[in-house]
Amino acid sequence: MGLSAAKIIGKDHYIIIAGRTVSKLEGAINELKEAGIEAEAMACDVSDFDSVSALAKKAKSLGTISSVIHAAGMSPNMGDADTIMKVNALGTIHIHEAFHDVMEAGSCLIDISSMSAYMLPGKLLPTKAYPLSHSDKNLFFKKMMKRVNLFPQKSRSGLSYAVSKNFVVWYAKSQAVKFGKKNIRVISISPGSFDTAMGELEKDGVEQFLAKSAFPRLGKVDEIGELIAFCASDKPGYLTGTDILCDGGCIAGQMKR
C-alpha cells in the first residue's frame, strides 16, 4: 500500500521508503526508479524510538517534509502478541513523537490502521489505557497487553492486532489538535481486505467477510494507493482528526438491519 502511494506522490516529491531491513526494500526502490521517481531506502524499526528519530532527522535534512505515510504494521500471522503491539501501537506513538517537531505547516501525517479496528466489541477494548500513550508509554503497553493476555494463547495475536489498530484510530484523532496548532493534518485510513502480501497471509476467513460486503471482492492496491496519495496532498486541506474506512463496505455489511 505504501509503495502504491509512493508511485503517485513520487511524481513530484522525493521519496524515502523505510523498513526494518534495507535489503528487503531494494525491489520497491527499483520499481520507483524505473518509473522515474527519485527515492532512497532507510532502515527503521518503528518499535524503537531512536530508530524513528533518526529517520525523522534524515527526512528533515533533505528538505521540507510534505507528508509522512505510516504504513508499517504487523498482522496476526507475522508475529506474537507482544511484537504486534510494539510495532502497531508503540510504533504509531514513536512516529508522531519523532515527526511532530520536523514537519511544517501544510504537511500531513497518515496512519494506516485496519477495518479490524471496527470489529471488536467495545467491552473488549482497553480504551481507559489509551490516554496513557501521551504520558507513560511503558505503563500504556503493560495495560494493553494485560487485556490481551486475559485471552487464550492461540487468540492473542489476533486480538493484539485488532486492539492495536483500534488504538491507532483513536491516537490519530487525539493528535489532531496538537498537530493542528502547526497547521499539520493528521488522519488515519482503515483498509479492508486487499490483494497484498499481508492480505495473502490473512486470507483464511476473509471469504466470510467478503460474502457480506457491498463489494464482495478484494480491494486493489492501486485503489488504496490513490486514496492515501489524495489524502496526503493539499487538496483535502480541511480533512483532519478522522478515520477513513476503505473496506468495500465490509463493516457496513456486518450491520444488523
List C-alpha distances in Å: 206 to 148, 183, 218: 23, 39, 9
Angle at CA 150, nearest 5°, toward 169 and 156? Answer: 60
pLDDT in tens, 180-213: 999 999 999 999 998 876 655 556 667 788 888 9
> What does the alpha-carbon distance between residue 233 and residue 244 come to, in Å, rounded to a whole number?
15
- CATH number of the domain at 221, please: 3.40.50.720
> What does the alpha-carbon distance between residue 147 and residue 129 come to, in Å, rounded to a whole number?
10
> What does the alpha-carbon distance between residue 91 and residue 113 come to, in Å, rounded to a whole number?
12
pLDDT in tens, 46-88: 999 999 999 999 999 999 999 999 998 998 989 999 999 999 9
- Looking at the structure of the chain, the number of domains it has is 1
Range of the domain at 221: 2-253
Position 149 scores a pLDDT of: 97
